[in-house]
Amino acid sequence: MKKTMKVLSFALALIMILGLAACKGGTSPGTSPATSPETSAAKSPAANASLKVGISMPTKSLQRWNQDGANLQQAFQAAGYTVDLEYAGDNDVPTQVSQIENMISSGYNVLIIAAIDGSALTEALAPCKAQGITVIAYDRLIMNSDAVSYYATFDNTLVGKLQAQSLVDKLDIANKPGPFNFELFTGSPDDNNIHFFFNGAMSVLQPFIDSGKIVVKSGQTQESQVTTKDWSSANAQSRMENLISQYSYGPKGTKLDAVMSNNDSIAQGVAVALQNAGYTADNFPLICGQDCDKASVINMRNGFQYSSVFKDTRTLADAVKTMVGQIAAGQTVQVNDTSTYNNGVAVIPSYLCQPVAYTIADIGKLVDSGYYTWADIGGDKGTLPLDGQIK
Ligand code: GAL
């Protein structure tokens, strides 16, 4: 009898240990962990309740992060996971650090993090590897940390290329003599993505700058000269105002053909400065952007922004949900890029979603796909000064 009890309690302990290992995640990037009975089959929602997923978003002041947070929270709750969604004030790094530390100390198994400052989380994430916590960098690479298992984002180099190409194509720079006057704006210096956005854009613009077809009168053509802290519209507006006064840009002053802006919140600030300088919809310099923010789509319909790059946050959330499901089930996590994103410690296996350039001709797709309603973006066609035609 005694011997039977010993065997039974050993078997019970073994099942419990194997069950815990399956829930802790902590798979090394791109490989499947040792399988155990619990990890071989996909988990049912009830079993997923043991998985605790922490979501750390940078701010609510930029529209897209509200969508990202809501998409992720909804997806993980539907999968039966325990979910904690936190916003770090308005891009407040110490708040994000303490929120992440709380998730770690509360036993969260998977962390999804859109870093405010990609280089500020090394210490906070230090316990993750030893504790088997899986960290997925969300649309912004976390730098100088051995804790990052995966990166889920878009093809950020392509984002920059699409932005610049939309301006070059609209102005027909390849075929016209020029010169065309541009100014350049990228995002926050603490966001590793700007290297990819800016270099992508410059891969299109630099040949024309070298040939003299594109002129940047300020001479500010290096990434470090054109950053916008926190991607802030106010910061972009004040830099554009300085450029306007320094180089006399205006409808009756120095010609300004285009502003290369690496995202929509910057484009919105630039547009206000240009409106204040007297530009109107029928002579507005072309501005590109990224994220198809509601305010920017409305500007596109009113002639105050030419293009944006659409990054469907639903697609990104779905990709991350799939990755977490594979982690929970102990399966190999599907990635499609294992060479581009080096975070200073290792090349991080990444899943890149595809961005697409949108002009006024495309915004109906945002409504048709259910991303927005017409009310979100200024009302039905024809309810704005411009009737939705490309100017
Ligand atoms: C970047 C992100 C962009 C945009 C920007 C402003 O990291 O890739 O899509 O959202 O932040 O928040």
pTM: 0.85
> Residues lining ligand 1, CB < 6 A?
62, 64, 139-140, 187, 191, 193, 231, 263, 290-291, 311
Q: How far is the CA of 291 from the centre of ligand 1 (A)?
A: 7
How high does pLDDT run on average in the chain?
88
235 Cα to the center of ligand 1, angstroms: 16
Q: Which residue has the higher pLDDT, 234 or 386?
A: 234
| CB within 8 Å of 354: residues ≥ 6 apart | 154, 155, 158
Q: Is the peptide bond before 179 cis (omega within 30 degrees of 0)?
A: yes
- Ligand 1 nearest-atom number relative to CA 193: 7
Nearest to 110 by CA among 88, 89, 77, 83: 83
The CA 377 to ligand 1 mean position distance, Å, reads: 20
| Residue whose CA is at the smallest distance from ligand 1 atom 6 | 231
Instruction: Please compute the mean of the pLDDT values over residues 145-163 and round it to a whole number.
Output: 98
| DSSP helix/strand/coil, 300 | helix
Mutate which of 68, 193, 296 to test ligand 1's pocket (most atoms within 8 Å of Cβ)?
A: 193
Residue pair 52/107 in contact (Cβ under 8 Å)? The answer is: yes
pLDDT tens per residue across span 362-371: 999 999 999 9
Which tokens hold the place of 255? 């010609």
pLDDT digits (tens, 9 = 90+) for 67-106: 999 999 999 999 999 999 999 999 999 999 999 999 999 9
Average pLDDT rounded to a whole number, residues 204-213: 98
